[in-house]
Copies of this chain bind each other. A is one copy, B any other.
């Protein structure tokens, strides 16, 4: 059932330089962000991608598969680039700053994607479970590892539960992103990276 991969085609269909599959995913992100997953019509996505309704089913298993694929692919690429960036940095506190910045930069770059990520992917318990068990867990583990390492190397206090700290950081970043999406003011999400890192590292006192 779960397909989410292109039909064998070496004819790189182009439409502003992207493959049909890409165009469909992009259109899905935009339509989901615009109308919400449940109110999004497959035919709208097809129109946005410049393909026939039926064509979507050659590349994806259906509406739900679109949402899952969007999530999977973006999270995967997010985690990879995060890993790459972390590999170049020493020191738990600096690594934390990098992670924070990376989160805000990535989501702050594409509002529609952020909307899908912050809103649409969370429309049901089923979805949240699904995601929190896989990719999100990986992300939380990466954050937790930073904390664990910080504690080992003596940079961070040892009396905080690393898993809890990881969730806390994720929660902060998540809320900042959601708040940014909902804000009527235009501002760069990344600008908050330093204050957040400062708060997490030093605390209020």
Contact = CB atoms under 8 A, between A and B. Distances in A.
A33 interface: yes
Contacts of A47: none
A168 B172 CA distance: 5
A147 B204 contact: yes
Nearest to A38: B38
A172 to B, nearest CB: 4
A205 B157 contact: yes
B36 A124 contact: yes
Contacts of A52: none
Which of A120, A157, A171 has most chain B Cβ within 10 Å? A171
A199 interface: yes
Given A119-B124, A172-B168, A175-B168, A200 B204 contact: yes
A30 interface: no
Contacts of A182: 125, 128-129, 132
A181 B125 contact: yes
A119 B119 contact: no
A155 B93 CA distance: 25
A164 interface: yes
A160 to B, nearest CB: 6
Interface string A67-107: 00000000000000000000000000100100000000000
Given A170-B175, A182-B128, A160 B198 contact: yes
A192 interface: yes
Interface of A: 33, 36-39, 93, 96, 115, 119-120, 122-126, 128-129, 132, 147, 150, 155-157, 159-161, 164-165, 167-168, 170-176, 178-179, 181-182, 192, 195-196, 198-205
Given A33-B125, A201-B205, 5 more contacts: A128-B181, A128-B182, A157-B202, A159-B198, A164-B192
